[in-house]
A and B are shown apart, each in its own frame.
Chain A
Amino acid sequence: MTLWEYIAGRSDMLAFQALQHASMIAQCVLVAAVVGVGLGVVVHRNERVAAIATGATSVVFTIPSLAMLGLLIGPFGLGVAPSVIAIVLYALLPILRNTIVGLNGVDPALVDAARGIGMSRTRVLVRVRLPLAWPVILTGLRVSTQLAMGIGAIAAFVSGPGLGEQIFSGLARLGAANALNATLVGTVGIVLLALLFDAVFVLIGKLTTSRGIRTHA
C-alpha cells in the first residue's frame, strides 16, 4: 500500500487524531501560559523566588519525557491525564522563564519614569512591564508549543490521544505492512501541525505587539 492509499484509507481517523493532537496541545499550552505568565508576574520581583521557580522548572526539564510519562502512570493511570500533565509541566518552563526575564528586562529607567508620573505598581505592570515583555513572553509561548508538539507525540506511550499513536504503532510493528506509512504519517502530521501553530503565533505577534517596539517595521 502506498502512503497515499494509507492516508486515503483512514482519512477520517487521521483527521480525528490530528484534531485531537492539535486540541490537546492548544489546551495544554493555554493552561501552561496562564499558569506560567501568572506565576512569572507574581515572582519576578523577588529575585530568590524567581530563581527557585526557574530552577525547579529546569529540573523538570532534565527528566526525559518518556521517563516522566512513565512516572505519571503510577498516580494517574493511562490515557489523557498523564499526557496532559506532562505536556503542561514541560510547556511551563519556557513560558515562566521568558515571563520573568521579559518583565525584569524592562529598562529600569522606564519603570522609574512610570512610577515618577504616578503609576501604581499594578498599573506599571499592566501598562508598561507586560506590554514591553510581551514579545519575549510570546517567544516563550512559541518554544513551549513546539516542545509540547513533540511530547504530545510521545504521550501515545501512555495511550495519550493524538498522532503519536501512528508513530508508536508504526514503530512497534516495524517491518510489517504499513508500519513505515504509519510512522511517516504521524511524524509529518506533527511537523505540519507545528508549522501551523507557529504561523498562528507569528500572526498573534503581529496583531498584539505595539508598532513602537516591533523589531521589523
Chain B
Amino acid sequence: MPETTPSPSLAELVSENGGARGVPIELISVSKRYGGSPDAAVDDLTMTIPAGEIVVFLGPSGCGKTTTMRMINRLIEPTSGRILIGGLDARAQKPDELRRHIGYVIQQAGLFPHMTVAANIAQVPQMLGWDRQRIRARVDELLELVGLDPVQYRDRYPRQLSGGQQQRVGVARALAADPPVLLMDEPFGALDPITRESLQDELLRLQEELSKTIVFVTHDVDEALKLGDRIAILDKGSRIVQYATAEEILTNPAGSYVEQFIGGESSMRLLKLTRVSDVALEQAVRARATDDAADLRRRMAEEGGDCAIVLDERQRPLRWVSAAALEGASGPVGELPGGEEDRIDTVISGRSTLQEAVEALLNAEQELVPVVGKRRHYTGVVTLATVQQAIAEIKERERRLRRERVAAGQSAVSVAAEPAPAAVVPDATGRDGGDTA
C-alpha cells in the first residue's frame, strides 16, 4: 500500500497490552560492522526471542553479545537487517521513546550517584510525564518488588547501598514504566557469588510474576543454565552455535564448541537444573503415631519397603520406623523407642534442586529423604535411585525429541530453533517461505 499509516509505537503497544507482558523480538539478518574493522561484530544474525521468556546470550568475550543486545534498543544502529519488537520495526520509532519502553540493566547497575534511589527509579516515569503522586506510588511498589523496604531505602544515595542492593535498584529502575522487554548486560557480573545467586533467584521469582521478554547476557555457564528458558551459545560475529533449552544443550551439545563451553559435568549440571517437584517421587509407607505397631508391620510387609514414615495429624514428618524396630513390638507406633537412625533431621522441599537432594541423601542416616510441600506437608521421598532415574528420563526425552526433529527433516541440533507459537510476526510470511527451502 502506498499510503503510510502512522506506524504504531511500542508505547501504544504497551498500553494496549496493559503494560506488563512480554512481546517477541525478531532479529532478521541483522549485521553490524564497526567502522575500521574488517570483521562484522554481528554477522547476519537471525533469531526469534519468544514473548515472556528469558533468553540468555552466552559466548566468549568479544563475540558480539553486547552489540547484539544494544541493537535491540538502538543504542547501536544495525548496519543492515531488521529488528521487530512485538511485530513493530524498531527503526520506525524514535530511539529515545523506544528505550523508555525497554528496560535496560547494566553491570554495576549504572545508578546516577547524585540522585536518591527514588529519583533514580523515577527517571523514566518523569520522562513519560506521570504525575508526582503516581511516580511516588510506583517507586514504592517497585522497591517492594525488588525486596527493598521503601521507607528505609528510598531516600538513600547509591553509594549508601551494597553492590547487590544497587543492582536491585537498577532492576527497579528498568521496570519503572512496566516495559514488555528487559535487556540485561551481565547485570550480576560484578557481584560476589552468594549475592549473585540470590539475585538470580530473585529475578526468576520476578519473572514468574511479570513474564517479561528478557534478553540476558553473561559469560557464566551456570548463570545461563539457571536463568535461561533458552540459551543462545554464540561464537565470533554473534554466530549462533546452538539455541536451545538448558536440558537440550546439556544432553545434546551441538559439537565441540558447545561442549568446551559447558566444560563437561553435564549430568551434574542437570542435577542443578532439575527441581525435585519435576521428578516422580517414591512413597514410603505412611503411619500415624497412634497406629498399632503390629498393624503397621503387616502393612509394610504388604506394600513392601523396610522403612515407614510417621506423620503427625497435619501430615508433617515426625520420624522413621524401621521394619526391624517393629519386629515383635506392640502398642502405638509413637511410643516405640526411637534411635539416632530414626530421627528425621533433613527434609527437602519441592523447590530444591536434585543436586540439593543428592547432598541431603549423602548426609542422611537413611537411604531416603522426605520431601515436603507447603507447611512441611509430606509429599514423598527421594532416593539416589529416584535421582538416577530422573536424569535418565531427561536424557531419554531429549534423545526422543532429537529423533523427532531429525525425522521432521530439521537439523539435529536446534540451531536457531524457531519457537512455535509466540513468534507470530505480521509480515513474516514471505520470509518463512524462503527459509524452508
Residues of A bordering B, CB below 8 Å: 109-110, 112-120, 123, 127-128, 131-132, 210-213
| Interface contact A212-B116, CB-CB below 8 Å | yes
A residues in contact with B123, CB < 8 Å = 117, 119, 127
Q: At the interface, yes or no: B243 with Cβ under 8 Å from chain A?
A: no
13 interchain pairs (CB within 8 A)? A109-B108, A110-B112, A113-B104, A113-B106, A113-B110, A117-B123, A117-B124, A127-B112, A128-B112, A131-B114, A210-B114, A212-B114, A212-B116
Choose among B75, B108, B115, B183 the residue that contacts A210 (Cβ–Cβ < 8 A). B115
| Interface contact B99-A118, CB-CB below 8 Å | yes
User: How far, in Å, is B167 (CB) from chain A's closest CB?
Assistant: 12
Given the complex of chains A and B, what is the CA–CA distance between A141 and B150 in angstroms?
A: 38
Assuming A113-B109, A118-B96, what are 11 further A-B pairs, CB within 8 angstroms? Answer: A110-B112, A113-B106, A116-B75, A116-B104, A117-B104, A117-B173, A118-B100, A118-B127, A119-B96, A128-B112, A210-B113
| Interface contact A117-B114, CB-CB below 8 Å | no
Residue with the greatest number of chain B CB neighbours at <10 A, chosen from A114, A115, A116, A213: A116
Choose among A112, A115, A118, A213 the residue that contacts B113 (Cβ–Cβ < 8 A). A213
User: How far, in Å, is A129 (CB) from chain B's closest CB?
Assistant: 11
Q: At the interface, yes or no: B52 with Cβ under 8 Å from chain A?
A: no
Question: Interface digits, B103-130 against A, CB 8 Å rule (1 contact, 0 not)?
Answer: 0101111111111100000011001000
| Interface contact A118-B110, CB-CB below 8 Å | no
Residue in B closest to A211 when the chains form the complex, CB atoms? B157
| Interface contact A117-B99, CB-CB below 8 Å | yes
Q: At the interface, yes or no: B158 with Cβ under 8 Å from chain A?
A: yes
Given the complex of chains A and B, what is the CA–CA distance between A122 and B324 in angstroms?
A: 80
| Interface contact A116-B106, CB-CB below 8 Å | yes
Residue in B closest to A116 when the chains form the complex, CB atoms? B104
User: How far, in Å, is B99 (CB) from chain A's closest CB?
Assistant: 4
Given the complex of chains A and B, what is the CA–CA distance between A210 and B112 in angstroms?
A: 11
B residues in contact with A210, CB < 8 Å = 113-115, 157
Q: At the interface, yes or no: B73 with Cβ under 8 Å from chain A?
A: yes
B residues in contact with A132, CB < 8 Å = 112-114
User: How far, in Å, is A58 (CB) from chain B's closest CB?
Assistant: 30
Report the number of A-B residue pairs with Cβ-Cβ less than 8 Å. Answer: 67
User: How far, in Å, is A128 (CB) from chain B's closest CB?
Assistant: 6
B residues in contact with A110, CB < 8 Å = 110, 112-113
Residue in A closest to B160 when the chains form the complex, CB atoms? A212
| Interface contact B127-A119, CB-CB below 8 Å | yes
Choose among A114, A118, A211 the residue that contacts B112 (Cβ–Cβ < 8 A). A114
Given the complex of chains A and B, what is the CA–CA distance between A211 and B96 in angstroms?
A: 29
Given the complex of chains A and B, what is the CA–CA distance between A113 and B75 in angstroms?
A: 10
Interface residues of B in 257-299 (CB under 8 A from A): none
| Interface contact B174-A117, CB-CB below 8 Å | yes
User: How far, in Å, is B42 (CB) from chain A's closest CB?
Assistant: 18
Residue in A closest to B99 when the chains form the complex, CB atoms? A118
Residue in A closest to B100 when the chains form the complex, CB atoms? A118
Q: At the interface, yes or no: B97 with Cβ under 8 Å from chain A?
A: yes
A residues in contact with B97, CB < 8 Å = 118
A residues in contact with B158, CB < 8 Å = 212
Given the complex of chains A and B, what is the CA–CA distance between A119 and B73 in angstroms?
A: 13
User: How far, in Å, is A136 (CB) from chain B's closest CB?
Assistant: 13
| Interface contact B112-A112, CB-CB below 8 Å | no
Residue in B closest to A120 when the chains form the complex, CB atoms? B96
Residue in A closest to B174 when the chains form the complex, CB atoms? A117
Residue in A closest to B106 when the chains form the complex, CB atoms? A113
Given the complex of chains A and B, what is the CA–CA distance between A112 and B66 in angstroms?
A: 12
Residue with the greatest number of chain B CB neighbours at <10 A, chosen from A118, A212, A213: A118
Residue in A closest to B98 when the chains form the complex, CB atoms? A118
Given the complex of chains A and B, what is the CA–CA distance between A116 and B106 in angstroms?
A: 9
Q: At the interface, yes or no: B159 with Cβ under 8 Å from chain A?
A: yes
Choose among B108, B124, B183 the residue that contacts A118 (Cβ–Cβ < 8 A). B124
B residues in contact with A123, CB < 8 Å = 127
7 interchain residue pairs of minimum CB distance: A113-B110, A212-B157, A118-B100, A116-B104, A210-B114, A118-B99, A212-B114
Residue in B closest to A123 when the chains form the complex, CB atoms? B127
Residue with the greatest number of chain B CB neighbours at <10 A, chosen from A112, A116, A117, A123: A117
B residues in contact with A115, CB < 8 Å = 75, 99
Residue in A closest to B128 when the chains form the complex, CB atoms? A118
Given the complex of chains A and B, what is the CA–CA distance between A150 and B159 in angstroms?
A: 39
A residues in contact with B110, CB < 8 Å = 109-110, 112-113, 116
Given the complex of chains A and B, what is the CA–CA distance between A128 and B123 in angstroms?
A: 11
User: How far, in Å, is B302 (CB) from chain A's closest CB?
Assistant: 66
B residues in contact with A118, CB < 8 Å = 96-101, 124, 127
User: How far, in Å, is A65 (CB) from chain B's closest CB?
Assistant: 37
Choose among B99, B101, B124, B159 the residue that contacts A212 (Cβ–Cβ < 8 A). B159
| Interface contact B99-A116, CB-CB below 8 Å | yes
A residues in contact with B157, CB < 8 Å = 210-212
Given the complex of chains A and B, what is the CA–CA distance between A196 and B183 in angstroms?
A: 51
Residue with the greatest number of chain A CB neighbours at <10 A, chosen from B97, B112, B124, B157: B112
Question: Interface digits, B129-163 against A, CB 8 Å rule (1 contact, 0 not)?
Answer: 00000000000000000000000000001110000
Given the complex of chains A and B, what is the CA–CA distance between A115 and B173 in angstroms?
A: 13
Choose among A112, A120, A213 the residue that contacts B106 (Cβ–Cβ < 8 A). A112
Given the complex of chains A and B, what is the CA–CA distance between A33 and B407 in angstroms?
A: 75
A residues in contact with B116, CB < 8 Å = 212
User: How far, in Å, is A125 (CB) from chain B's closest CB?
Assistant: 13
Residue in B closest to A209 when the chains form the complex, CB atoms? B114
User: How far, in Å, is B70 (CB) from chain A's closest CB?
Assistant: 8
Residue with the greatest number of chain A CB neighbours at <10 A, chosen from B97, B101, B104, B174: B104
Given the complex of chains A and B, what is the CA–CA distance between A210 and B111 in angstroms?
A: 14
Residue in B closest to A210 when the chains form the complex, CB atoms? B114
A residues in contact with B106, CB < 8 Å = 109, 112-113, 116
